Amino acid sequence: MIESHLTRKGMELQKQKEGIMAGKTPRVLIIFFSFSGQTSGILSQLAAGLKELDVEVDYEKLRPMKPMRFPVGNVFSTFVLMLTTFLRFRVPIQDLSSTPDSRDYDLIILAGPTWSYNPSGPVLSMLDRDGKRIFCGQTVLPLISCRGYWRFHWYGLRALLKKCRAEVPNVVAFSHPMKEPWRTIGVFLKIAGKNPERLKIFSRVYSRYGHSKEQRDEAWRFGMQIGEALRRSRSLSKLDFRTPKALP
């Protein structure tokens, strides 16, 4: 009887999944810039969650005209980087690759790190040059990877996307899980070319740079949620991405 019950339950779950899968295969375009690899790490898991529901995923990586090195290597260069990013200096990027027309996608995910409370220079450059062509009339979901304090980034990015006449129903944000002020100090040292997690005294309060395994697992779950919403033609505005690990 127990085996029969489990078999029936499995069949019901399979039918439910088949019901979700029915219809046109959703397509997602991920446009991203990743400086230290944290954004791409989160994205790989989110994309894996999308693919669990057979959502088709394509990528467009933003590539600066002048390659950017991480870490930058010294304290002075780190100060210069933080000042220019705070002032929203653009970082010129190469032409985008020959991706399919953005109108062929059901969703565009625009992902990148927070630089001094703002979207990164390459993302700003892309919005200036290609924003209206790519995002006009499209549903765009920003994904933000940051040390913390991502809301100013989100408000500014949303305004720029709306200026491009995009629909922006929600946002996904991941903050580094270390506590302040240690995460700010740790990120600064890391960009400057140090290894704060290996410093004997500092490592007691700062065990690692970047996002945790738990956050990457969470990104996978978010991908599943987005994939199911696309399959069922539901608004992404109804999805709740607010979790303790995703909040600053």
Q: How far, CA to CA in Å, does 34 sit from each of 54, 63, 98, 199, 234? A: 25, 9, 20, 26, 29
The answer as to whether 111 is a domain residue is yes
User: Is the pLDDT assigned to residue 33 strictly greater than 90?
Assistant: yes
Domain residue limits at 87: 25-176+212-235
The answer as to whether 200 is a domain residue is no
The answer as to whether 16 is a domain residue is no
- Residues with Cβ within 8 Å of 223's Cβ and at least 6 positions away in sequence, in order, are 45, 46, 47, 48, 49, 50, 51, 52
How confident is the model at residue 95, as a pLDDT? 93
Q: What CATH number corresponds to the domain at position 121? A: 3.40.50.360
User: Is the pLDDT assigned to residue 15 strictly greater than 60?
Assistant: no
Range with lowest mean pLDDT among 4-8, 22-26, 128-132? 4-8
How confident is the model at residue 30, as a pLDDT? 96
- Any bridge partners for residue 141, and if so which? 109
The answer as to whether 4 is a domain residue is no
Q: How confident is the model at residue 180 (pLDDT cuts 50, 70, 90)?
A: confident
> What's the rounded Cα separation, in Å, for the pair 212 and 210?
7
Please count the structural domains in the chain. 1
Identity of the residue numbered 58: D
The answer as to whether 190 is a domain residue is no
What are the structure tokens assigned to 210, written together?
């970047």
124-173 per-position pLDDT tens digit: 999 999 999 999 999 999 999 988 778 889 999 999 999 999 999 999 99
How confident is the model at residue 10, as a pLDDT? 45
Quick one: average pLDDT of 6-21? 46
Mean per-residue pLDDT over the chain, rounded = 84
The answer as to whether 118 is a domain residue is yes
The answer as to whether 205 is a domain residue is no
The answer as to whether 137 is a domain residue is yes
